[in-house]
């Protein structure tokens, strides 16, 4: 797994107290809120990959060795629109992940009661 999948990886790790890789490894044991954060992170990661892919497609389209004419301009316009849509979806996925992180950070704290374990009394015979 790459060191960083999204620009919010460090915030996810801080909110959950563990690495992204560990979250994926322990997915079956996550709380419901942590699982929602992980799902939102996964969605954002896919959206980031889509934006990168569409950006490269735009660069390839622009780099073609062909005459600048109406067809090339139409192709560039179409590809730019696809990239804009992908970026919009990525921005929505990012906002969703931020909302999930805030939910997790503002969850009610569960009071923990320490359990004192003492040694069993010794029997004298």
Q: Is 1 exposed, middle or buried (0-12, 13-18, 19+ CB in 10 A)?
A: exposed
pLDDT at res. 78: 97
Written in H, E and C, the secondary structure of the chain is: CCCCCCCCHHHHHHHHCCCHHHHHHCHHHCCHHHHHHHHHHHHHHHHHHHHHHHHHHHHHHHHCCCCCCHHHHHHHHHHHHHHHHHHHHHHHHHHHHHHHHHHHHCCCCCCCCCCCCCCCCCCCC
Q: Average of pLDDT values for 1-24?
A: 85
Q: What is the pLDDT of residues 28-46, one digit of tens each?
A: 898 899 999 999 999 999 9
Distance of CA 40 to the CA centre of its chain: 5
Pair of tokens at residue 122: 């010794």
pLDDT of 59 over the 80 cut: yes
pLDDT at res. 73: 93
Q: What is the pTM of this model?
A: 0.77
With beta carbons less than 8 A apart as the criterion, state whether 17 and 30 touch. Answer: no
pLDDT at res. 9: 93
pLDDT at res. 38: 92
Q: Return mean pLDDT, the chain.
A: 86
pLDDT at res. 65: 86
């Amino acid at each position: 797994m790459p060191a960083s999948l999204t620009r919010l990886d460090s915030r996810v790790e801080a909110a959950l107290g563990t690495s992204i890789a560990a979250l994926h490894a322990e997915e079956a044991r996550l709380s419901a809120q942590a699982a929602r954060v992980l799902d939102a992170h996964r969605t954002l990661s896919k959206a980031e990959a889509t934006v990168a892919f569409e950006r490269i497609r735009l660069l390839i389209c622009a780099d073609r060795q062909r005459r600048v004419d109406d067809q090339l301009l139409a192709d560039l316009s179409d590809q730019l629109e696809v990239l804009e849509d992908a970026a919009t979806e990525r921005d929505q996925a990012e906002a969703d992940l931020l909302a999930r992180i805030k939910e997790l950070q503002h969850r009610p704290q569960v009071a923990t009661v320490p359990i004192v374990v003492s040694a069993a009394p010794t029997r004298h015979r």
